[in-house]
Amino acid sequence: DAGVIQSPRHEVTEMGQEVTLRCKPISGHNSLFWYRQTMMRGLELLIYFNNNVPIDDSGMPEDRFSAKMPNASFSTLKIQPSEPRDSAVYFCASSTDSSYGYTFGSGTRLTVV
Amino acid sequence: SQQGEEDPQALSIQEGENATMNCSYKTSINNLQWYRQNSGRGLVHLILIRSNEREKHSGRLRVTLDTSKKSSSLLITASRAADTASYFCATVETGANNLFFGTGTRLTVIP
């Protein structure tokens, strides 16, 4: 298995532009999580899905952020419009259930200038 | 949204020594997990300990859990330079499915 696949690995965009981050979870995993990591705030859970349904999006910073999971093998995190304070590394993770460890992707490093 | 706090924030030891990292959390948990993150990379799951377990081993790793004190420790024995990384504890709250991370400990093992 190739693990959790995220794309792109790096993204540099100008303030105000739309940014879309992509994630392919491990086949058979029914939970998917989006995290954001910054030096100041550490690892923050943004949203998680179970069986493609959003369960908890309380960590989503504001309306500029949205996430979808149209099927079991694909999820997107969109920021529109992007702002410099959105600069961070965004991680996607998947798991079978909470009794097992999560598998993380390599992350997308987003820089908004 | 972070649940855990780790101590120390940074730790520097000589190769061959043992490294101990501590984690405290706030609420009732289902399980507690430890992850490693190498610089610029994703997180790698190391070990999971359930709330009804007190100690668990995996290779050179030893994890303890004290639910009465809401704390856990990770011991890495006979450390190697390759163990240099950040280590995070993370908890799954009782009745939940999401994972909340601590602040992490930056471990440096000097060859």
Give the distance from residue B91's alpha carbon to the nearest chain A alpha carbon, in angstroms.
10
Q: Is B107 on the interface with A (CB under 8 A)?
A: no
For B5, the closest chain A residue by CA position comes to A42
CA distances A78 to A65, B35, B108, Å, are 6, 27, 36
Q: Worst-scoring range by mean pLDDT, A26-40, B1-15, B43-57, B82-96?
A: B1-15
Report pLDDT digits (tens) over B56-75: 999 999 999 999 999 999 99
Q: In the numeric block, which tokens belong to residue A5?
A: 């696949």
Chain A residues touching B100 at Cβ < 8 A: 45
Give whole-number Cα distances, A73 to A13, A27, A29, B77, in Å: 26, 7, 9, 39
Residue A51: other Cβ atoms inside 10 A: 10
Percent residues over pLDDT 90 in chain B: 80
Residue in A with minimal Cα distance to B94: A98
B43 touches chain A (CB under 8 A): yes
Predicted pLDDT at B96:
78
Interior angle at CA B101, CA B97 and CA B106, nearest 5 = 155
Reduce the DSSP state of residue B81 to 3 states and report it. helix
In tens, the pLDDT along A48-105 reads: 999 999 998 988 988 999 999 999 999 999 999 999 999 999 999 999 876 778 999 9
The confidence band for B3, taking pLDDT boundaries of 50, 70 and 90, is low
Q: How far is A100 from chain B (nearest CA, A)?
A: 7
User: Which positions in chain A touch B99 (Cβ < 8 Å)?
Assistant: 33, 45, 93, 98, 102
A90: closest chain B residue by CA: B42
Answer whether B2's CB lies under 8 Å from B102's CB: yes
C-alpha A17/C-alpha A81 separation (Å) is 5
**B1 pLDDT band (50/70/90 cuts)?**
very low
Q: Is residue B99 within 8 Å of residue B1, measured between CB atoms?
A: no
